[in-house]
Amino acid sequence: MKIRVLLSILLCLFIFIGCSSNKSELTTNLDQVQIERVNDPFEPVNRAIFSFNNVFDRAVLRPISIFYRSIVPEFVRNRITYSLSNLSMPITAVNNLLQGELRKAGVSTSRFLINSTIGLLGFFDPASSLGLESENEDFGQTLSVWGVPSGPYVVLPFLGPSNPRDFTGLLSTSLLDPMYQVGGGSTADNLRYYRMGTGAVDFRSQNLEIFDDLQNNSIDYYAAVRSFYSQSRESQAANNMEESSFEDENDIFDDFDLDDSYVGPDIEILYD
């Protein structure tokens, strides 16, 4: 594998948590964080890497995210968020299929097709007005459904909290990204790097207060992040295990709920 591809994969993985979480999930899970024992045999090394990551975040990513949020209007930021989310739908659809969730795969595929066309490349979200709610799946969750154990907790430079299962899953998820299917060349590479950087800043800017609150209110910030990450991934895995079943193909489009009030992407129908 080319070094450039490896670097691209690393750049697209966000500091502190996996890219599968959204802001509402973070808020809910952070409210429930409890410091508990986690399989962490490499804690001394993990703490050192965590400190390095935190310095990088405070010195680079957080200031850029604050600047981004201060100069870019909320309406424009929302369009960027929705467009980035739309690009993840093919990944979610593939993982839905691998988990045996045929109906959810149909929903994810429909969201991508509708928002990429009627929604103007995903900048608008008409699919939600049709009852097709957004969700994110990654290959780490798929491996969990398949019974692969998570392994020990680790903290990776720049990548943040992970474990062998999730790291393997995130690499596989990144390779499924549509941006890696557009071919080579400098233009394609620049588009990929731009998308990755924008995604990292967009994610961090949405969660500035959440991470600040966690750090300021934690006696042990490392342990709090470790507990949050572990609980979050365990919760996602448990939900997938409960819901995973091979559904009747006739149920794939049951989630359509036509909204007669929708007349086009110029109407603000999106949720923040």
Has residue 261 been placed in a domain? no
Q: How far apart are CA 16 and CA 39, in angstroms?
A: 18
Has residue 27 been placed in a domain? no
Structure tokens belonging to residue 176 = 């499924």
Has residue 263 been placed in a domain? no
**pLDDT of 7 over the 60 cut:** no
| β-sheet bridge partners, residue 155 | 161
**The pLDDT of residue 170:** 84
Residue range(s) defining the domain that contains residue 119:
3-16+36-251
Q: How far apart are CA 151 and CA 42, in angstroms?
A: 12
**The pLDDT of residue 172:** 83
Has residue 147 been placed in a domain? yes
**pLDDT of 251 over the 70 cut:** no
Has residue 198 been placed in a domain? yes
Query: CB under 8 Å to 224, separation ≥6 — which residues?
Result: 33, 35, 214, 218
Q: What is the CB neighbour count within 10 angstroms for residue 69?
A: 16
Has residue 119 been placed in a domain? yes
**pLDDT of 240 over the 80 cut:** no
How large a percentage of the chain has pLDDT more than 70?
Answer: 68
**The pLDDT of residue 261:** 40
Flag whether the pTM goes above 0.85. Answer: no
Average pLDDT, the chain: 79
Structure tokens belonging to residue 151 = 């392994």
**The pLDDT of residue 53:** 95
**The pLDDT of residue 196:** 81
Has residue 173 been placed in a domain? yes
Average pLDDT over residues 141-159: 93
Count structural domains, the chain.
Answer: 1
Average pLDDT over residues 23-48: 69
Has residue 194 been placed in a domain? yes
**pLDDT of 112 over the 80 cut:** yes
Angle among Cα 70, 74, 75 to the nearest 5 degrees reads: 145
